Structure 1
Amino acid sequence: MGPVAKRPVFEGFEDTWLVTLFYVLAFIAIVVFLYGVVLRIRRYMAGRHQPVYKDWPKRLAQAFWEVLSSRKIGRRDPYTGIAHGFVFWSFGFLFLGTTIIAIDQDILGLISPSLRFWKGNFFLGFSIVMDISAVLFIVGLGMLGLRRAFFNVFRLSYARVDGKAEDRSRYRREDWWFLGQLLLIGLTGLFIEVFRLMMDHPWFEIYSPVGLLLARGFEGLGMSAQQAAEWHLGLWWFHAFLALTFIAYIPYAKSVHMAASWVNLAVRDRKAGIALPAPATETSLGLPLTPSAIDLNWKEMLSVDACTKCGRCHDVCPARNSGAPLSPRDLILDLREALGGRHGMRQAAVSAADGNGAPSEVPCLREMAAGGTSLISPDVLWSCTTCRACVETCPVGIEHVPLIVQMRRTLIDEGAMDDNLSSTLMNFARKGNSFGQSERNRPKWVKDARVPVKDARKEEVEYLWFVGDYASYDPRAQRVAQTLARILTHAGVSFGILYEAERNAGNDVRRTGEEGLYETLVEKNIQAIQSAKFKKILTTDPHSYNTIKNEYPAYGLEVQIEHYTELLNRLAKEKRLVVTEPQRVTATYHDPCYLGRYNGVFDPPRNLIEHVGATLVEMPRNRDNSFCCGAGGGRIWMGDTLYPNKPAESRIHEAKQLHGVTHFVVACPKDLVMYSDAVKTAGYEGQMEVSDLIFLVEKAMGLENYAAEEIMV
C-alpha cells in the first residue's frame, strides 16, 4: 500500500505559540465581523415595519439562482460577466476549501483523528480544484482591474449629475482597495502553495499543476528550498493577515454587498414599481408619520446596503441620459450616506418618545420644502419617468421607483411641484382627466369612428374597452381609438365603452405621489366598471393596462385585461384579420415601458408587424432594455426645464441610424404624441413616419375607407 497524500495545515510552524496566535487573531476577526453584523441588524430593526414574507423557500431558491447564475451581470456586458463569473465561482470554491480544512482540522480532528477526511484521493482532487480556482480568481480580478483602469467605462465614473459639489474619490479608493485586497489574497495563497512545493517536493505535486509550473520556474531562477521555506512562512502570515482583515472588514464597507445582495434578492418585491405600496402611516415606533418625514423600512435600508455602485442603473436611466439631475445610483448612495451619518445628518434623524417616555430614535430622512436645502432635491425626484429601467437592470434587486414615489408623496403634500403638474392634478380632481375637459366630451371620438360603439353600461359585451385620456381627447390619439373600433367591428368582436363614466385610470397620478387623488379615480372607475356587463377589459393605453391589472385588485377589482396588441395578435392567429394589402415597409418598433418592461408584452406587437407584411428592424435597445420616451411618471404633464435633451428625440435619432427604416411604430397613445413631436423637433419630418401599429393593421386589411353602413346591410 502506497503513501497517503496529505499535508499539515501549519507546515513549518516550529513554535506552537504561533498556532495559538493565529487562532487568537482569527477569533478577533470573527468578533469584529459579528459586531458589524449586529450593528447592521440593529439599524434594520429600527426601521419601519415591513410585513414578513410567507413564501421563504421559493424566495430563497430564486435568490440563490439569481446569485449563482449571475445572469444580470453578464447580460449586455459579456466581458464583465465572464470576469465576475471567474471571481465569484473561484472565490466560492476557495472559501469552501478553507471551510473544509477548518472542519477537518478544528472539529473532526478534535473529536477523533480517524474521522478526518482531508487526505488520500479526496485531498488530490481538492488540490486540483484549489489550484485551478486560485488561477481563475486572479485572472478574473485582473480582468476587472484592467476594465476599471483602462476601458474608460462611463458608468464607473462617480461624477454627480445634479450639480452638487462632492469629492467622491473615496469611492474610487474603496473600489480599488476591495479589488486589490482580493487580488493580494489570491496571489499570496497561490504562492504559498508554490513555496510549499519547493520545500517538500511531495510525490503528489502534479496535482497542483499551476503551482508546480511556477515552482519549477523559481527553481530555474536559482531559489533554494531553504529560501522557499523562509518565504513560505512570511507569506503564510501575510496571507492570513489579509484574509482575517477581509473577514472583519466585510460588514463595514463595499464588501457588505456579498451578504446583503443575497438577502435583498430574497426579500425583493418582483412587482416593485409595477404595483406600488400604499403610503406608510406610522413610523417604526407606531407614531404618526408626518408629511415631512420619510421613514425607511428594514428592507429599504437593506437594499441601500446591497448596492455595489456598479452604475448599471446610472447607465440606462433616461433622465440621466437626457441631462436631467437624476442618477438612480447617486440617489441610493445619498440615502446610504445619510443612514451612515454623512451629509451632516445623524443616522437616527427623528427622536420620539417610546412607551416608557424615554427618547427613542428611528432612521429616517427629512425632505424639506421646495426652495430649501434637502438631502435629495425635488428636481432630482421630479426627473424620474418611472420607466423602471433601473429596477430591471439592477443585479442585486434594488427597488428605486418605489423609493422615489415615496419621496414624491412628501413633495406633493408640501406643494413642492412643477406648476404644470399642479394644474394637471387640479384637472384630474375637477374633471377626471388630464386635459381639463368635460366628461361629456370623452366619447366624442365615437362620432368619427363610423361604426357603432356600444355603451357597456346598457348592453352586455365581450370586451369593456377602457379607452384612456389621450385616446379620448388628443386628436392624434383619437385616430387610434377610431381605427381600433373599425377593426374590432370588422372582426366581429363585441365591445363597448363606459362613455362619460370613465375617468383616468390613475397610473401616472399615483406615480407623481398624489395617492389621495389616485384612490378617488380608482373608486369612480371601479364603480363604473362594475355597472357594466362584460368578460374582459381591453385598452389601448399601457399605463391604464398596468394599474388596472396590477393595482386595482388591491381595491377589490380583479378582472382579465388585454392590451389591444394581444387581442389583435390572437385574432390574426384565428384568421380574423385578413391581410389584403401587405405593407411592404421597413419599420422599427418601440416597446412602451408599461407594456413591455412592466408587463412583459413583447411578442404580440412584433407578430402583428410580421402579419401585415412589414419588415421589422430592431433598435439596439429593445424589449426589456427599451429606452423610455420620457412621458411616464407624470413627466408628460411637466415642463422641459429639467431635460436639456429630450428622451424621445434620442430615441428617434437611434431609429434614424437603422438602415432603411421609414416607419417608427408605437403601441401607446402617449408614445404617439411624444414621438410625433420628436420627429419634428429632431429635424426628421418627412423622413420618418411615426405610426401606431393599429394604422398598419388598418391599411393591411384595406379598411381605411371602412364605414358603418358596410356592416349594417
Structure 2
Amino acid sequence: MNPVAERPVFEGFEHTWLVPAFYVLAFIAIGVFLYGVIRRIQRYRAGRRQPWYPDWPKRLIRATAEVLTSRKIGRRDLYTGIAHGFVFWSFGFLFLGTTIIFIDNDILRLIAPKLQFWKGDFFLAFSVVMDISMVLFIIGLGMLAVRRAFFAVARLNYARVDNKPVDRSNYKKEDWWFLGQLLLIGVTGLLIEAFRLVADRPWFEAYSPVGSLVAQGFRATGMTPQTAMDWHFITWWVHAFLALGFIAYLPYAKSVHMLASWASLTVRNPKAGIALPPPPSETEPGLPLAPAAENLSWKELLHFDACTKCGRCHDVCPARNSGAPLSPRDLILDLREAISGFHGMKRPGAKVGHLVAESDLSSQEVSAALEPGELIAPDVLWSCTTCRACVETCPVGIEHVPIIVQMRRSLIDQGTMDGNLSATLMNFARKGNSFGQSERNRAKWVKEAGVPVPDARKQEVEYLWFVGDYASYDPRAQKVAQALARVLTHAGVSFGILYEAERNAGNDVRRVGEEGLFETLVEKNIKAIQSAKFKKVLTTDPHTYNTLKNEYPAYGLEVEIEHYTELLDRLARENRLPVKYPQNVKVTYHDPCYLGRYNRVFDPPRNLIAHVGATLVEMPRNRENSFCCGAGGGRIWMGDTLYPTKPAESRIKEAKQLDGVTHFIVACPKDLVMYTDAVKTAGYEGQLEVGDLVFLLEKALGLANEVVEETVT
C-alpha cells in the first residue's frame, strides 16, 4: 500500500534561516505592490469626480464574465484568443494553486493542523492540474512570443499615424520584458518539478505527467539525485525571485492591466458614445487639449491604466485606415503619458518627443509645459467619425468617443474648426438644418411623393415620421423619403410629419462638440413633437434614430422610436407588403454605424432583402464590424483634406470584389449620398448601383415605374 502522497513546501532547505528570509522577501514584494496600488488609487481620487453607479452587482457580474471569456480578444483573431486563453486560465489556476499552498502551510499548519488538506487524493489531483496548467501557460506565452517576433503584426510596431517624432522603443522593450518575465516564471516552475522528481522518485510521479517527461530526460543525461537537488535549490530561488519581483512590479508596468482591466470593464458605460454626457460643470473642468489629471475623471484615468496597447482600436479606425492623423490607440497613449509618465513610473528628466512625462512635476506643471494643441492636435480630433468601432473592439472597455467629443468641445470654444463646419453650424443656428435652407422648404419633397402626407400637428396619426435633414433637402435622399411615403401608404400605415416645425435632431451637432446648439435643437424639437398627436416616432436617418432614442429621454422625451427598416420588417412579417415582382439580383448591404454598431439593428434590413427575393452577399466587414462611410461625427460637413483616401471609396472597392454583386444597398440617407459619390470617384459608375433598401422594396411591390429583373450570376 502506497504512503499518503505529500511533499514539504521548503524541500531541501538545509539552512533554517532561508525560510524566514523568503518570507521577508515576500512581505517586501507585497509591500511594494500595495504601495503601487495605493499610488494609483490616489491618482484616481485626484481626478474629476464622477457619479458612482447604482447597479454594481450587475456590473461586477458582466465584467467578470467578459474577463473570464475574453471574448473580444479572440474575436477576429483566433490565434491570439487561444494563446491568451492558455495564459489567462493557466495563470489563474497557478495563482489558485499558490493560494491553496499558502492556506494549508501558512495558516492551517499553525492554527489547525488537523484541517490541512494538501495531501492524499487532493494532492494528486492538485499535481495533475498544476502540471498541465504550467505547460499550457508556457505554450500560450510561446505562441504570443512567436506572434510578436515573426507574424509582422503591424499594430505591434507602435508606428504613429501623425508622424510625430516620438520614440516608442520603450513600449516594445516593456512588452518583451513582460512576456519574458512570465515565460521564465513558467519554465523555472516546470524545472523545479522535474528536478524534484529526479531527486525523490516518488511513487506518484505519474501525477505530474509533463514534469515526469522532463525528469526522464534529465535522468537520461545521467543526472544524479544529489545533482538534481542542487539544481532544484538554485531554480527554486530563481523562480521565487522572479515571481516575487513580478508581484512587486505589477502595479508599475504593463502588467497593471491585470488589475485595471477588470475594474475598467466594471465601470464602463455600455452606452459610451451612444448617449453622450453633458459637459462638466464650471467647477469641474472638462478635457482641454493639454489636460492635467484633475481635468480627467477618475474613470478615464482608470481606463488609461487598463490599456494594453493591443492596437485593436488602431486597426479598425476608419480615419487611420484612410490616412488621417487619428489613431485611437495613439490618443490614449499620449494622454496617459502626459498625465502620468510611462505607466505612472517616475523617470527623472524623461521626455517623450513633444510630450513632457512626469518626473518631479505635478500634473499641473506637466500641463503647463504643453502648448495648447501640442499634445492632441486639432486635426487628430476632427478626423474622428465617431463610428464607435474603437469602443466596440476594445477588450478592456476604454471609451474613446466621449473623450474625443469632450476635447472637441474645447476646440469649439476656441473657434478652432474646419471652415465648412463653421458655416454649417451657422446654418443650424439660423435655419435649424445643415443645408441652410428655409424651414418652409423642408417638406417640398412631399409634392412628388404622389401620396398624401398629413401634418401630425393637425391630424392624429399612428407614426410621427421624423424625416431628417438629408431626406428632406438633398435631391438624392429626397427620393428615399418619397419612396418610403408610397410604401407606407401602400401598407395602410397611418403616418404624418412635422413639416416646417422639424429641426435637425442634433446627433452630429453634439458629436462635433457644439453642446449649446444641440440643446437648442433638442428644445425646439421636443416642443414640436409634443404638439403632434401620435403613438410612435419613425425615423429615416440612423443618426436621428440614435439621438432621439438614447439622448432625448434625458431632456424629457419618452416615446417609442423605430427605424423605418424595423417597421417595414414587421409589416412584411404581417403580410402587409406582398411581393409582386421578386428582385432577382445579387446585392450586398452596408450596416450604418448608428443603426448597427450603435443600436444593434442588424436583422431587419437583411430580412427585407430576403423578403424581396434578392440574394445577399455579406461584406467581409459586416454587422458590428462594419466599416464607416466617413460621414459620422460631423465629417460629412467638413473638407476632405485630412483624408487621403475616402472611407466610402474603400468600402465600394471592397464591395466590388464580391462575386456577382450588382447592387450596394444602404439604409441611411447619408450613406446614399456618400456612396453615390464614391462609386463615381472610384470609377465604378454603371458597374455597381447604390440604392436605399426602400427602393428595392418599392420595385418588389410594383410601386416603382421600373422593375429590376436581372438574373443572378
TM-score greater than 0.5 by the shorter chain = yes
Deviation sequence 1:371-425 (CA, Å, 0-9, x none)? x652110010000000000000000000000000010000000011101100000
The verdict on how the C-alpha distance between 1:350 and 1:385 changes in structure 2, with shifts beyond 3 A counting, is: farther
Q: CA deviation at 1:347?
A: 5.3
Aligned to 2:344: none
Q: CA deviation at 1:2?
A: 4.1
What is the rounded CA distance, in whole Å, between the counterparts of 2:367 and 2:255 in structure 1? 25
Of 657-666 and 334-343, more deviation after overlay is shown by: 334-343
Aligned to 1:226: 226
**Conserved in 2, the CA contact under 8 Å of 1:293 and 1:410?**
no
Aligned to 1:503: 503
What is the rounded CA distance, in whole Å, between the counterparts of 2:537 and 2:485 in structure 1? 14
What is the rounded CA distance, in whole Å, between the counterparts of 2:113 and 2:324 in structure 1? 66
Q: CA deviation at 1:340?
A: 1.4
What is the rounded CA distance, in whole Å, between the counterparts of 1:581 and 1:485 in structure 2? 19
Aligned to 1:313: 313
What is the rounded CA distance, in whole Å, between the counterparts of 2:268 and 2:409 in structure 1? 22
Q: CA deviation at 1:345?
A: 4.0
The reply on whether 1:528 has 2:528 as its aligned counterpart is: yes
- 1:66 partner SS: helix
The verdict on how the C-alpha distance between 1:264 and 1:205 changes in structure 2, with shifts beyond 3 A counting, is: same
Question: What RMSD over aligned residues (CA atoms) do the two structures have, in Å?
Answer: 1.7
What is the rounded CA distance, in whole Å, between the counterparts of 1:289 and 1:629 in structure 2? 30
Of 312-321 and 106-115, more deviation after overlay is shown by: 106-115
Amino acid at match of 1:199: A
* Corresponding pairs, count: 692
**Conserved in 2, the CA contact under 8 Å of 1:348 and 1:364?**
no
Aligned to 1:253: 253
Aligned to 2:238: 238
The verdict on how the C-alpha distance between 1:288 and 1:144 changes in structure 2, with shifts beyond 3 A counting, is: closer
- 1:83 partner SS: helix
Aligned to 1:661: 661
Aligned to 2:117: 117
TM alignment of 1:622-661, pairs within 5 A = 622-661=622-661
The reply on whether 1:512 has 2:512 as its aligned counterpart is: yes
TM alignment of 1:290-329, pairs within 5 A = 294=291, 295-329=295-329
Aligned to 2:477: 477
Aligned to 2:41: 41
- 1:588 partner SS: strand
Q: CA deviation at 1:166?
A: 1.1
**Conserved in 2, the CA contact under 8 Å of 1:195 and 1:231?**
yes
What is the rounded CA distance, in whole Å, between the counterparts of 2:455 and 2:7 in structure 1? 85
The verdict on how the C-alpha distance between 1:312 and 1:217 changes in structure 2, with shifts beyond 3 A counting, is: same
Deviation sequence 1:308-334 (CA, Å, 0-9, x none)? 111100000000000000000000100
**Conserved in 2, the CA contact under 8 Å of 1:46 and 1:363?**
no
Q: Identity, % of aligned pairs?
A: 78
**Conserved in 2, the CA contact under 8 Å of 1:296 and 1:363?**
no
Aligned to 2:409: 409
What is the rounded CA distance, in whole Å, between the counterparts of 1:5 and 1:368 in structure 2? 64
**Conserved in 1, the CA contact under 8 Å of 2:288 and 2:407?**
no
Of 20-29 and 341-350, more deviation after overlay is shown by: 341-350
- 1:558 partner SS: coil
- 1:109 partner SS: helix
Q: CA deviation at 1:112?
A: 2.4
The reply on whether 1:330 has 2:330 as its aligned counterpart is: yes
Q: TM-score, normalised by structure 1?
A: 0.95
Amino acid at match of 1:513: G
The reply on whether 1:211 has 2:211 as its aligned counterpart is: yes
- 1:690 partner SS: strand
**Conserved in 2, the CA contact under 8 Å of 1:572 and 1:611?**
yes
**Conserved in 1, the CA contact under 8 Å of 2:314 and 2:390?**
yes
Deviation sequence 1:37-72 (CA, Å, 0-9, x none)? 011000000000110111111100001100001111
Q: CA deviation at 1:349?
A: 12
Amino acid at match of 2:693: L
Amino acid at match of 2:187: L
Aligned to 2:10: 10
**Conserved in 2, the CA contact under 8 Å of 1:348 and 1:363?**
no
Aligned to 1:358: none
Amino acid at match of 2:523: E
Aligned to 1:268: 268
What is the rounded CA distance, in whole Å, between the counterparts of 2:682 and 2:288 in structure 1? 41
Q: CA deviation at 1:350?
A: 11
What is the rounded CA distance, in whole Å, between the counterparts of 1:350 and 1:666 in structure 2? 52
Aligned to 1:593: 593
- 1:587 partner SS: strand
Aligned to 1:447: 447
> Structure 2: which 5+ runs fail to align?
342-350, 707-713
The reply on whether 1:129 has 2:111 as its aligned counterpart is: no
**Conserved in 2, the CA contact under 8 Å of 1:467 and 1:497?**
yes
Q: CA deviation at 1:233?
A: 0.4
The reply on whether 1:431 has 2:431 as its aligned counterpart is: yes
- 1:641 partner SS: coil
The runs of at least 4 consecutive aligned structure 1 residues that moved more than 3 Å come to 286-294, 341-351, 361-369
What is the rounded CA distance, in whole Å, between the counterparts of 2:99 and 2:284 in structure 1? 46
- 1:199 partner SS: helix
The verdict on how the C-alpha distance between 1:287 and 1:155 changes in structure 2, with shifts beyond 3 A counting, is: closer
The reply on whether 1:100 has 2:100 as its aligned counterpart is: yes
- 2:442 partner SS: helix
What is the rounded CA distance, in whole Å, between the counterparts of 1:56 and 1:480 in structure 2? 44
**Conserved in 2, the CA contact under 8 Å of 1:264 and 1:302?**
yes
Deviation sequence 1:121-179 (CA, Å, 0-9, x none)? 10000000000000000000000110111011122120000110111111000000000
